[in-house]
Amino acid sequence: MFQFTKTLAILSGLQIRTWLSRLAKPWAVVVVISCCLPMECHAQTPREMSAASYVDRAKGFVTQGDFKRAVADFGIALQFDPRCAKAYFGRGVARQLSGELQAAISDYSTAIELNPKFDLAYCNRAHARFHSGELDAALLDYDFAVEVNPRLTEAFIGRGAVRGRKGDFQGALRDLDNAIRISPRFPLAFFNRGSARHAKGDLPDAIADFDHAIELDAQMSEAYRARGDVRFDQRQFDRAIGDYSKALQLNPNDAKAYANRGSACVARGDVKEGLLDFDRAIELYPAKAMVYANRGWARMLLGDEVGADKDFERCFKLDWTLRAKFEGLVNERKRQVSEKR
């Protein structure tokens, strides 16, 4: 038996503080897809043994990231043994990891029909439904997974993510506490609990959870960025910049870390440094409206009204709802600048 994980960030809305804003995620968690493949197919007949051999080879393709060949081999296995629930589950994993969520859901559903006690199939179907926006269905699947296996860490983490997304932070914390009791060395559980605590405004405990996640996995760039977000909220801008810089050292393509470091730099008074970070964030993620607003504000502080106007217009085109929030402030700032001349 082997296990590996794939992490996916869940993004929420933007939190806006006066002018300078980081790309905040009041509920930003990592959800785990269980890729544990218990492949003992209990082969009895020659056809079942043939199916088992293809399942074994498909399992190898999944570990190598060759999902197309894995799907093909799981399909051949099912031609030999159409009732092999683990082949359906394995094909669901391969399809889910390649982004085919609805096909994965279908495979997990068939696996569950064949084996109603298949805890990992419930868990992964819940994960796929979560990322398809089917939160209520995902919650039911996580409930079934926990009922079948009360020690399935991934199910508690996933259910906590759903509850947090639905605004039930107390329920999310209960699930994440359970996940940590079951698997006290699971960094993602601490990361998610830190995110839930941050969303509730419990900043010191959020920092403690992110510290613990980093102790367990020093390469977890998301934890450094998330800790930086908390320190930003604490107005510890130097320490926030340090965390964002570490996140970028580990993941140089993290647009949110560039954007948030830019905001921290501007808040600290290093407007030109912040502008460089906003430029890089936009280069990596040109569709994020809030980054244009932040860069527009930085340009306004530097006296570049033409550039600022262009950024705000781009921001409003990407997200028209921000016009009502920002247009008055932009005009007020222009009036203040004009009066000083």
Predicted confidence at residue 326, as pLDDT, reads 81
The C-alpha atoms of residue 250 and residue 238 are separated, in whole angstroms, by 19
Contact 90, 55 (CB under 8 A): yes
Per-residue pLDDT, 42:
56
Give the pLDDT score at 341.
Answer: 58
Alpha-carbon torsion angle 109, 110, 111, 114, nearest 10: 120
* Sites in the chain below the pLDDT cut of 70: 1-44, 46-47, 337-338, 340-341
Question: How does pLDDT run across 160-183, given as a tens digit for each residue?
Answer: 999 988 989 999 999 999 999 999
Calpha distance 71→91 (Å, rounded): 5
- Paired strand residues for 32: 7
The answer to whether 127 and 118 are in contact (CB under 8 A) is no
Domain boundaries, the chain: 286-341
Q: How does 102-125 read in b/e, with b if 16+ C-beta sit within 10 Å?
A: ebbbbbbebbbebbeebbbbbbbb
Q: Are 105 and 129 a contacting pair, CB within 8 Å?
A: yes
Distance separating alpha carbons of residues 187 and 195, to the nearest angstrom: 12
Read off the pTM: 0.82
Helix (H) or strand (E) holding 290: helix 289-301
Length of the chain: 341
Q: What is the b/e burial string over 73-89, where b = at least 16 CB atoms within 10 angstroms of the residue's CB?
A: bbebbbebbeebbbbbb
Kindly state the tokens that stand for 296. Answer: 């527009």
Which of 223, 232, 171 has its CA nearest to residue 196? 171
Contact by Cβ (8 Å): 308, 297: yes
Q: What is the pLDDT of residue 12?
A: 24
State the pLDDT at residue 27: 41
What is the pLDDT, as a whole number, of residue 20? 43
CA neighbor of 25 nearest in space, from 275, 206, 214: 206
SS3 call for 90: helix
**pLDDT at position 327:** 83
